[in-house]
Structure 1
Amino acid sequence: MTTSQALRLALHSAVLSDLAGSRPKRLVRAMRYQAEDMPADAESHAAEDDFRQALFQARPGDPLIDMWRKQLTRWDFVENPTWSTTPARTDERRADIYRLLALESATVKLVEAVIPVVKAVPPVVISETFVPWYTPASQQGRPWYWPSYRGVLARNGWSEESIAGLDIATDNVVERLADPTRADAYQSKGLVVGYVQSGKTANFTGVIAKAVDAGYRLVIVLGGTLNLLRAQTQRRLDMELVGRENILRGAGEYESDYADDPAWSKGRFVRFGGLPSALGAFDIVRMTTRDDDYKSLLQGIVALEFEKQQPAYPLYDPRNLHRASARLMVVKKNKTVLSKLVKDLNKIKTPLSEIPVLIIDDESDEASVNTSRPKPDADRTAINQKISELLTMLPRAQYVGYTATPYANVFIDPSDTADIFPKDFIISLPRPDGYMGAGDFHDLDSDVPDDERTYANSNEKAHVRDVIVRDDDDTECLQQAMDMFVLSAALKLYREDNGLAEGYFEHHTMLIHESSWLNDHRELLGRVTELWWNGGYSGAAGHARLRRLFEEDVATVSAARAEGHAVPPTYDVLMPYVGPAAFRISGDQKPIIVVNGDKDLETGEADFDKRSIWKILIGGQKLSRGFTVEGLTVTYFRRRATNMSALMQMGRWFGFRRGYRDLVRLYIGRDESGAAKKAVDLYKAFEAICLDEDSFRRELSQYAVLVDGEPQVTPAQVPPLVSQHLPWLKPTSPNKMYNSQLVEIQSAGRWEEPTAYPTSVPDLRHNTRLWLPILDALSTEPVTLSYNFDSGTKPHTFPAFVGTRDAADVLNLVESLCWRAPSQFAPHLEYLQQITKPGNPLVHDWAVLAPQHLKAGPRLALGSSGREYSWFARDRRRDPLFGAISDPKHRSVALRIAGALADSGDHNTEKLANDRRGALVVYPIVEPDHREEASTTGVLDLGRVVVAFAFVAPSSAHYGGDRVVRFVTIDSSQEGAIVDAR
């Protein structure tokens, strides 16, 4: 960097640091003001034409561009600023920024070309307040590894939008760590929540890059509990962050631990052109390698010693910190390994209190969490104890956990200062573009009737296939799944010849996951081997099966979902690729790899880094968490788990499927008879996981909005946001689900659906009798209600008995209801009481709707008039909770009545819409034991009817500012103490 460039960078850094916490201001004036306190030559850069010249000449990774990108993006993303009325992340917002900066049109064009508006969804952040330190000024002249990593992502095909999104997300993490140069030690702890196989590694690689650039000098990555997970993480960091020069450190090319890695010989490991320390930066010293976990340092402890340029000052002083090398280790979560690390750290001469440390805990809900019961004299579990020791002995250590299943982490005791509760922040990453997650295999809240679903409008029809077990034999379905594997392999080769580059599909895999037991794998290996060699993929029988599968399945799905990728018009066109595909899978006579750690069973090495793999994988625990199965196209899944976190992590079919998304198939048991009964639960379980996960993220998003600059909730108040839909599928261990109590939820304009209804006959009879006067007062004939969408979507139409009821009457009713779990409805009741207060109520009355079936269906006589109502068959998914009760098509009308949606286009619906009116939707429910009687007689004892309801409060029924939730928190450090979080 020339002197002139350094001056320009220093000038813009000073300007942006001054503007970081304020509105955009006239740029030229700000530059001239800052230039007054700088060398005389700086004034020549305080002009807009100089800025334009810098923009025009900028190359990728230019620090000036990165600096401006951060600040412009911050202004783009800020919600409801005082200086703009335009929505965040829009061209209109950016235009306001340019206007306030007083930029000329020529400058604007260059900025737009170099730094376009990032319109990606930002992360959701639940955070304690923190002291800003990660500013352009703090990074001046030091960024090295982040610009390099940014370049790696660009070369790997990441779009500018995706890189900018990662930049924003990683900033959100790093700025909440402690300033590594601060005099007083502070230990920040946080949690980053991603999706299964969705790019969490890229996020923490970016965090490490920025953290070491900022001054963190010891990075400890806890890389899972298995060797293959640790090795996979080590290689990724070495290849994309550490770089060749730091790996070799003067050794020969063939002395590298990656000498046998094709990516090494092909030059895919990042290069710097020399050791970073020789180029004005600092080195990263690896304390672990691809094949070797952390070992005790046999030749003294010197490798962990941190050099000080000025011994009189502490290591964290900038005069020492930014000249010292960083140390990086990727260690397995293993008691022995971590004990060696703790022992060695206690031996080094550098005071541990001076070392800024970053601990990244990958899959932080596994092994890291203390599962011992919370008693004063209870010992911690082994791995948790070692992590606790690290945090205790390293007062400047920052802990960041990464997981897709955060439930165990958020239920840790917040008062345990030596534990890993994310007391400072929880960050929920947005779903990446192109990602296939749990929701892509289900039709959640689909408005399309079952008989109208097609491969185009139904995820389930497109990607999910039934496993039908007859007499405990699933051979037919397993054969079909293997046929799909061969067929999709042929299609990949066809696409490489018709649009995609040769070798585009480096890996192509099928995963069979039925059990974690080695004996089961041994039996399964024999069955699958026999099916493969008897499959006849080069003969008439095999081609006949593939032809039928192509015509009945692949051709129709791909016609609807191929996203422009080539699809052969007939099987005859595809047939020439079947032989080469089968040969690529089994040409070495080993079409199947068993991955379970049993050396007698492993028939091949599932190392995706060392070779191209087109194989069938049989696995259990090793393939159920963290490890990425590259090229996974067909999954045959029949393994059960007892909690949400474990089952979600088994979803290896989630991930990025570029070029073959339409070919992905999940074979999972759906037959409700005999041996397949357990498998039936699996598909429903994953559906429940989708609902629970969406609910958790939606709640985090709602409560992340600051109120008067302060957070609505802190990480300690997050546990009550976790929900559960199935009785046998708990979020995590029950003994961790404590510490917080949800008191109130303001839900103006939102559909709310209580589900914890009583089970006893007296309580049910009491509730039904309370509802009868309201039901009797409804219209004598059903009224047809409808909501017509502008988008051309089919209208939501249904008949219902309708009426209105005074708000006080409705409140008296819900206050008198019995509940099996009162705590579930209590936060809603508190809100309803607040908005119905006499004097100035926010709700005047409620429209009451009793929806009726569109077609002739079961009816039940209720009330003194003997009127018959449609009843609904619903099941309790977890005692006492029902699953979803409402029909999605009823919601839009209720939301319109409450003012949450625009005009419905329906006369009857519009007559009910009114200011300060809510909507109450009533569902008589008959449970399984009484359905036959209800169907045949149309009459039931009132104690056998569950009158359920959903409600939408008026969209205007807000009070107390923007705050929408209120908690009390039980602090376990003070027995019996309750802190009102209002």
Structure 2
Amino acid sequence: MPDTLLKIHTSALAAMQDGPRPFGKWAALVADEDDPDADLTEENFRARLMGSDAGAEALKSLWSRTLTSWDFAEAPEWAPNAAPRTEERRATAYDLLRLSTDLRKALDAVVPVPEIPPATVITREFTPWYTPEKAAARTFYWSAYERKLWDKGWSDAAIASLDEASRAVVERLADPEQPEARQTKGLVVGYVQSGKTANFTGVTAKAIDAGYRLVIVLAGTLNLLRAQTQRRLDMELIGQENILRGADPGDVDSLVGIDYVGDDDNDWPHFIRHGGRPSTLGAFDIERLTTRDNDYKSLAQGIRALEYDKREPTRPLHDPVNLHRTAARMVVVKKNKSVLTKLVKDLKQIHGLLGELPVLIIDDESDQASVNTSNPKKWEQGRTERTAINALISQLLGLLPRAQYVGYTATPFANVFVDPGDSEDIFPSDFLISLPRPAGYMGVQDFHDLDSAIPYEERTYANSQEKAHVRGIGPDMDDRLLEAMDSFVLSGALKLFRADHGVPDGPFRHHTMLVHESVKVDDHADLALRINTMWHQAGYASVAGHERLEALWQTDFAPVSTARADGLPVPESYAALRPYVSGARQRIGSGGNPVVIVNGNSDKYFEQLDLDFDRTPHVWKILVGGTKLSRGFTIEGLTTTYYRRTTQQADTLMQMGRWFGFRPGYRDLVRLYIGREEPLTKTRTVDLYEAFEAICQDEELFRAQLVRYSALVDGRPQVTPAQIPPLVSQHLPWIKPSGRSKMFNAELVEIRSPGQWVEPTAYPVNAPELRHNSKAWQPVLAALGDDPMVFVHLDGEDRGGYTRYPAKTAVISHTQLLTTLGALNWARPGLLSPHLQYLSDSSTFGCGTDDWVVIAPQTSGPSSVAATILGSSPLTLVQRRRNARGAFNRISGVAHRQSAERIAGLRGLSEDDPYATVFHQPRRGAVLLYAIADPDLGSPSSLVSDGRIDPGKVVLAASFIPSTPPNTSPVPYVRFRAADSSAATRAIVEAQ
């Protein structure tokens, strides 16, 4: 029986392609034609939304797609002043639909306003060409990909977010139809194992719809990784008809040499179907020049395979008459010298057409192999020497004047520091796009308590990411390898339990453990042998083995899952879980060996491992390896990680964070066993967990800077990609952006920071400089009152609603703060100088702060230690650790910042925080001041003598927030000047 109400709603909403209109009126018009007796009351509408049958679910899906499309619409005429993904935008849509308050609430419950931030874009000015109208006119492959994502279970909001982010890339490419040839170069920054492939698949779909007719995808350095990318594009974009190329799927003889069909790939039925050859459906075909099993070798059909037929031979290929009636070619190649050399050679044979051919080059993991790492000191006579892959990419760009290069990476710093003055290189000179953190992704925030306001001793499995997921290993503790293996078995049993209790089996297809201690192949063999021996001695079927697992269940998994399972099934006892332990043990130990070593350098080696997660039904194994596990190789189902390897390179460290990713249905089961205070050199140790935290904070700060400076001022970009390097180098000074004989011409001179926290962390370490700094602070210390005032941090549900803390306070003039900050010694002066420039600006657009409240938070309790500094009133000492670069990871605590933000006008006043309210005045900023006793010098109590501390053993560290002016027009947050003003338009200049 047809669902009349669903039919009416579908027809009514279909008539609103240009935006929402009075829904009741349009539904009534449709009903008059289809079913004049249909119940169109709002009561019936709400009842259907609350239902759970198939018809109700279809109605919810219809409204979800419609409302989400309006939520994400780019500058629609019907909501010119309402930003996307906001309550205001949604309310505007409801107003135009003329829906009642009750119906609005019902729809909001079913389709919440998406809380997905947009992609962040740093761009040069460009000429818009990819308008919504132009995008909608040709959307064959994007629409097919969109349908595929719906079939995979993507939410409407996730698809709309991908649509938005991929459009941001495509609109900054050159118009493929434009007469003049122009290249663009960009970089898309995602997260480790976060779905960057989905973005470049969407970009590819839209680009070929728009007219790009050759797509070259540079996919990894191993054939396994290249084949995985090829398969993904074949399944989700290219589709069955383009793969078959007219072959009859029922005729075995016609399928010889065609991959996937028959029994070759169990997922073949799930490959996209277009309903016929695209060229017969009014679109165009995609011809593959590579297949899943064959990288680019040479053109199988001869050079003809790269020749393009023109409908109008007298017109260039990029003319719309020709462009939209010719097939696209797709090449998915490995970053290999031999492979790329053959591609370059074949392209040279059709040189007459290359100037007319719109080309898209996608470079996956663009900071690997693609970046030129040759030593600039070896360059002679102004000629750049290039590494092999970089040289071949440069040749491709030189051959293809209409090529658009888009790099994808999770660790962008290598690409950002490419010489922007090298026109033949891959510096993202036109745009840099940072993708939003996707929903459901487990990243650094899920393993570290960044800026947590909760004291360490009060943290629990419920309020601490570290306590829930991280288990330390190091010299002062057992190596815990057997415990990590027990954790792997227990989590596998829990997955099987959940699959048996209503959770789909899909998320649990693979179950893996990663063990990474060394890059040395011999070490891997020894470690694998040790783990294999431990496995067979663990006794997982014995009484002793079950007792050990039960103890780990009771002390670890049961309390963590109780706090964090979020409605997923959790066994009431180990007895309920015990039957599933056997199944997990059998899967992991299948074939007689639970361990797989992943460290080979050849494709043949990887093919022998049977570790193709796409084509293998189940991989339940412990993986032991080194570098090959740390980049590009996505480890599906990763639940337990045992990590002890050290490195001094930030990007290498980040890429090893393979425990980041999507963990549907088992987030609470994820465990990270990681080294604490591991040996780095003969004289230094490193806390791997803290090192990851420091690097991740640098990355998050980089993303935050991109967000801050992406806002347009007077319709123009504040920052261009060429100005990003000096901005980033303020936080990553150990990365050498260019050769010693060169420097970036864009010099950062000012950061305007009204209402923004400034927290320099690079303080000196030697005693004379610290004594000098203490003397500079002495007048401020003398001004602090003896009696602490009590401030309040309001934090909702986590800790009963508020946290109180005492603090000594003083009010000082703006001049006094500038004098103090200007007199300090810094390990890296460049960190603060752009902020000081802003604080010193007395113009209309300057700081606008007259005086400052200094807040020195004090602690209490048996472990609290107070001391006088140069005769000051006693101040309690706090401990902050320096990271491997000698800087503090953070200074101020969230609990202390909130009151300071009230004083500075960033946050509203509250009766619950009376002292902040009393101190607040217009044009007043706030300073948080801490006396830090360096833990490397000993405990605070050991550093204090007769109530005093040597000023050479204490770091007086400050964070500050300038006053927030109300209702002021936005002004540029950053200001640059050319280091060489005679060459102001150049990005790189010779060092003076």
1:561 and 2:543 equivalent? no
Q: 2:962 maps to what in 1? A: 953
- Contact kept in structure 2, 1:508 and 1:633, CA below 8 Å: yes
Report the CA distance between 1:84 and its aligned residue: 5.7
Q: 1:670 to 1:813 in 2, by over 3 A?
A: closer
Distance change >3 Å, CA 533–CA 881, structure 1 → 2? closer
Listed as ranges, the matches of 1:498-647 within 5 Å are: 498-502=501-505, 505-597=508-600, 604-611=609-616, 612-647=618-653
CA contact (8 A) 2:420 2:987 kept: no
- For residues 780 and 476 of structure 2, the distance between their equivalents in structure 1, rounded to whole angstroms, comes to 51
**Structure 1 residue 432 corresponds to structure 2 residue 438:** yes
Comparing 372-381 with 642-651, greater Cα deviation is found at 372-381
Q: Which residue matches 2:283? A: 281
1:115–1:319 Cα change, 3 Å: farther
Looking at structure 2, the residues matched to 265 and 88 of structure 1 have their Cα atoms a distance apart, in angstroms, of 37
Code of the aligned partner of 2:610: E
Inter-partner Cα distance in structure 1 for 2:847 and 2:352: 65
What does 1:355-754 align with in structure 2 at a 5 Å threshold? 355-374=357-376, 375=379, 376-468=382-474, 474=479, 477-502=480-505, 505-597=508-600, 604-611=609-616, 612-670=618-676, 681-722=687-728, 738-754=744-760
Q: Which residue of 1 aligns with 2:917?
A: 910
Aligned residues of 1:190 and 1:426 also touching (Cα < 8 A): yes
Kindly indicate whether residue 831 of structure 2 is the aligned counterpart of residue 824 of structure 1. Answer: yes
Cα distance between partner residues in 2 of 1:320 and 1:48: 46
Match of 1:194 in 2: 190
Tell me, in whole angstroms, the C-alpha distance in 2 between the residues paired with 1:298 and 1:50: 56
Residue 935 (str. 1) matches residue 944 (str. 2): yes
Letter aligned with residue 977 of structure 2: V
Deviation at 1:908, TM superposition (A): 2.4
Q: Are the equivalent residues in 1 in contact too, given 2:750–2:974 (CA < 8 A)?
A: yes
Q: What whole-Å deviation, never above 9, does each CA across 1:844-877 have from its counterpart, x for those lacking one?
A: 211122222233533332345x532223334443
Separation in 1, partners of 2:405, 2:531: 44
Q: Distance in 1 between matches of 2:889 and 2:965?
A: 29
CA spacing shift, 1:129–1:820, aligned 2, 3 Å: same
Q: Deviations over 1:338-364 (max 9, x none)?
A: 111111000026510100000001001
CA contact (8 A) 1:84 1:96 kept: no
Contact preservation (8 Å) 1:189, 1:424:
yes
1:293 aligned residue: 295
Which of these residues, 929, 941, 947, is aligned with residue 922 of structure 1?
A: 929
Q: In the alignment, which of 141, 144, 153 is matched to residue 145 of structure 1?
A: 141
Q: Structure 1 residues 260, 226: closer, same or farther in 2, change over 3 A?
A: farther
The 3 A distance-change label for structure 1 pair 960 and 116 is closer
Q: Which moves more between the two structures, 651-660 or 749-758?
A: 749-758
How far is 1:51 from its partner? 14
Structure 2 CA distance for partners of 1:714 and 1:590, relative to 1, 3 Å: same
1:308-347 aligned within 5 A:
308-347=310-349
Alpha-carbon distance in structure 1 between the residues aligned to 2:282 and 2:68: 24
Give distance in 2, aligned partners of 1:872 and 1:88: 44
TM-score by length of 1: 0.87
- 2:270 paired with 1:271: no
Greater CA deviation, 416-425 or 147-156? 416-425
Q: Decide whether aligned partners of structure 1 residues 70 and 636 sit closer, same or farther in structure 2, where only a CA change above 3 A counts.
A: closer
- Worse-matched range after superposition: 670-679 or 523-532: 670-679
Residues 545, 925 of structure 1: alpha-carbon distance in 2 compared, 3 angstrom cutoff: closer
Q: Residue 803 of structure 1 contacts residue 847 of structure 1 at CA under 8 Å; is this kept in 2?
A: yes
Q: 1:734 offset after TM fit, Å?
A: 8.9
Deviations 1:677-708 (A, max 9, x none): 98852111111122112111111111111111
- Does the 8 Å contact 1:261/1:610 carry over to 2? no
Instruction: Give distance in 2, aligned partners of 1:204 and 1:973.
Output: 40
Listed as ranges, the matches of 1:210-229 within 5 Å are 210-229=206-225
Distance in 1 separating the partners of 2:786 and 2:505: 70
Q: Does the Cα contact within 8 Å between 2:72 and 2:85 map onto a contact in 1?
A: no
Instruction: Give the Cα separation in 2 of the matches to 1:503 and 1:672.
Output: 38
2:136 is the counterpart of 1:173: no
Tell me, in whole angstroms, the C-alpha distance in 1 between the residues paired with 2:310 and 2:614. Answer: 38
Contact 2:266–2:615 (CA under 8 A) maintained in structure 1:
no
Q: Aligned equivalents of 2:202 and 2:33: distance in 1?
A: 29
- Give 1:776's aligned residue: 782
- Aligned mates of 1:838, 1:196 — CA distance in 2: 43
TM normalised by structure 2 equals: 0.86
Kindly tell me: are residues 766 and 574 of structure 1, through their superposed partners in 2, closer, same or farther at Cα, counting changes over 3 Å? closer
Q: Does the C-alpha gap of structure 1 residues 814 and 501 become closer, same or farther in structure 2, counting only changes over 3 Å?
A: closer
Does the aligned pair in 2 maintain the 1:590–1:603 contact within 8 Å?
Answer: no
Aligned AA for 1:862?
I
Assess, with a 3 A threshold, how the Cα gap between structure 1 residues 503 and 438 changes in structure 2: closer, same or farther. Answer: closer
Deviation at 1:462?
1.2
Letter in 1 for 2:333: V
Partner-residue secondary structure (3-state), 1:351: helix
Structure 1 pair 543–71 and aligned structure 2 pair: CA distance change class (3 A): closer
Task: Give the partner amino acid of 1:536.
Answer: G
Report how far residue 516 of structure 1 moved. Answer: 2.2
Bigger mean CA offset, 156-165 vs 885-894: 885-894
Cα distance in 2 between the residues matched to 1:249 and 1:582: 45
Rounded to whole Å, the distance in 2 between the matches of 1:293 and 1:52 is 59
The verdict on how the C-alpha distance between 1:961 and 1:874 changes in structure 2, with shifts beyond 3 A counting, is: same
Instruction: Give the Cα separation in 2 of the matches to 1:954 and 1:615.
Output: 56
CA gap 1:174/1:302 in 2 versus in 1, 3 angstroms: same
Aligned to 2:883: 877
In structure 2, the residue corresponding to 1:751 is in which secondary structure? coil
In the TM superposition, residue 436 of structure 1 has moved relative to its aligned partner by 0.7
Q: Tell me the secondary structure at the aligned position of residue 883 of structure 2.
A: strand
The CA distance in 2 between the partners of 1:684 and 1:723, in whole Å, is 21
| Shift in Å, 1:157 | 0.6
Q: How much has 1:104 moved relative to structure 2?
A: 7.1
Offset, 1:68: 9.1
Structure 1: unaligned runs, 5 residues or longer = 1-11, 29-45
Instruction: Choose 692-701 or 878-887, whichever is displaced more.
Output: 878-887
Q: Does 2:179 align with 1:183?
A: yes
Task: Indicate the residue corresponding to 1:35 in structure 2.
Answer: none
Asked if the contact 1:223–1:361 (Cα under 8 Å) also holds between the matched residues in 2, the reply is yes
Q: CA RMSD in A?
A: 3.9
Distance change >3 Å, CA 258–CA 451, structure 1 → 2: same
Give the deviation of 1:503 after TM superposition.
5.8
* CA apart distance, 1:768: 2.4
The 3-state SS of whatever aligns with 1:799 is: strand
Distance 1:663 1:883, change over 3 A: closer
CA distance 1:553–1:136, shift in 2 (3 Å): same
- Counterpart CA distance in 1 for 2:920 and 2:497 is 57
Distance 1:137 1:76 in 2: 12
Distance 1:807 1:404, change over 3 A: same
* Amino acid across the alignment from 1:569: E
8 Å contact kept, 2:335–2:369: yes
